Amino acid sequence: MPELFDNHNRRIDYLRVSITDRCNLRCIYCMPGKGAPHFKKHKDILTYEEIELFVSHAIKQGISKVRLTGGEPLVRRDVVDLIKSLSGLPELHDISLTTNGILLADFADVLWEAGLKRINISLDSLNPEKFKCITRIGNLSAVLNGIQKVFEIGFDPVKINAVVLKGINDDLSDFIKLTFNYPVHVRFIEYMPFSKQIGLERFVSCSEMMEKLNKFGKLEETDSPTGSGPARYMKFKGALGTLGFISPMSNHFCPECNRLRLTADGKLKTCLFSNDEIDVIGPMRNNHPEDAVKEVLRQALEKKPKDHSTARKNHFMRTMFQIGG
């Protein structure tokens, strides 16, 4: 199988695909506080056929892992059909999905039948009041029902992603209890300032998070549930699950970065912290798709920055719901 390497000799084999910028939550670090978000029109986002074409040709070049994101991917109609098509690609070694979990209980069975076996759930608090504060409109019980359902069906691994904000959800004790009750992998993520609504005064470093958690007992290093990725995993003795720490701000993992991001409106991003984007939707609609994919991947490998310092960080033109998680 061919392999993709960027100009810094990093193997690029992971593609995150945002299938929509729309979401059924309005999280404070992602969505604007006032006014309606400016969502893209349907004609301005990639069709499922175009996504499948891009992925299938990217696989021929060396991509082997795909994660579907949003916005919230489960709000886009017929998402299960896309997952079934992608999971049928023989060279695709891994397909996963990130969801906020609101609709997960309703979709879990059909997602499994379509070929999805592992899932990430964005959940920033297990406290109903804090959850409502962060999401503005969310119903925590719906997410918890979804988590229960995926464990019953057999999804593995099941990961929970929590963005930690100082003074809002930095009491992490509820997540500790969760790892003792379920074989779940909770990953605490440092806040990245993509939103003008929240400043860096809310930032909590992973080292600070570990200090908080060490008060509950001794954390021990443990292996990643997937064998790779940016998180450092630890666990409490006797726990069924693990606690992961992702530090894009305080201790970035640029030297091991293996990913590209495809936005819903057809832009290929080489780095989350960069405004540089390569148009995909135009070339794919105007040229032969395979040639278009080869060319945009070539450009991406050439442009992918060495690290955050060369990616014009802290001058973001897009927020997370527009980029894809």
Say what the pLDDT of residue 15 is.
Answer: 98
* Tens digit of each residue's pLDDT (9 = 90 or more) over 231-242: 999 999 999 999
Contact 25, 102 (CB under 8 A): yes
Residue 37 has pLDDT above 80, yes or no: no
Compare 202 and 273 and report the one with higher pLDDT: 202
- Position 316 scores a pLDDT of 56
Burial class of residue 264 (count of CB atoms within 10 Å of its CB; 0-12, 13-18, 19+): buried
Q: Among 28-42, 195-209, 307-321, which stretch is predicted with the lowest mean pLDDT? A: 307-321
Determine the pLDDT at residue 317. Answer: 65
How far is 233 from 256, CA to CA, in rounded Å? Answer: 16
Domain-by-domain residue ranges, the chain? Answer: 14-323
313, pLDDT greater than 60: no
Q: How many CA atoms lie within 13 A of 194 on its CB side?
A: 23
Per-residue pLDDT, 312? 55
Using H for helix, E for strand and C for coil, what is the string for 208-250? HHHHHHHCCCCEEECCCCCCCCCCEEEEECCCCCEEEEECCCC
- CB neighbourhood size of 151 (10 A): 15
Residues whose CB falls within 8 Å of the CB of residue 65, separated by 6 or more in sequence, listed in order = 13, 14, 15, 92, 93, 94, 95, 96
Give the pLDDT confidence score for residue 310 in this predicted structure.
Answer: 65
Q: How confident is the model at residue 319 (pLDDT cuts 50, 70, 90)?
A: confident
What is the CATH T-level fold of the domain 14-323, as seen in this structure?
TIM Barrel (3.20.20)
Q: Please check whether residue 249 is in contact with residue 255, taking contact to mean a CB–CB distance below 8 angstroms.
A: no
- Choose among 318, 230, 324: nearest CA to 276: 318
Say if residues 142 and 179 touch (Cβ distance below 8 Å): no
Rounded to two decimals, the pTM is 0.94
Q: Is the pLDDT of residue 283 over 90?
A: yes
* Between 46 and 230, the higher pLDDT residue: 46
Whether 193 has a pLDDT exceeding 90, the answer reads no
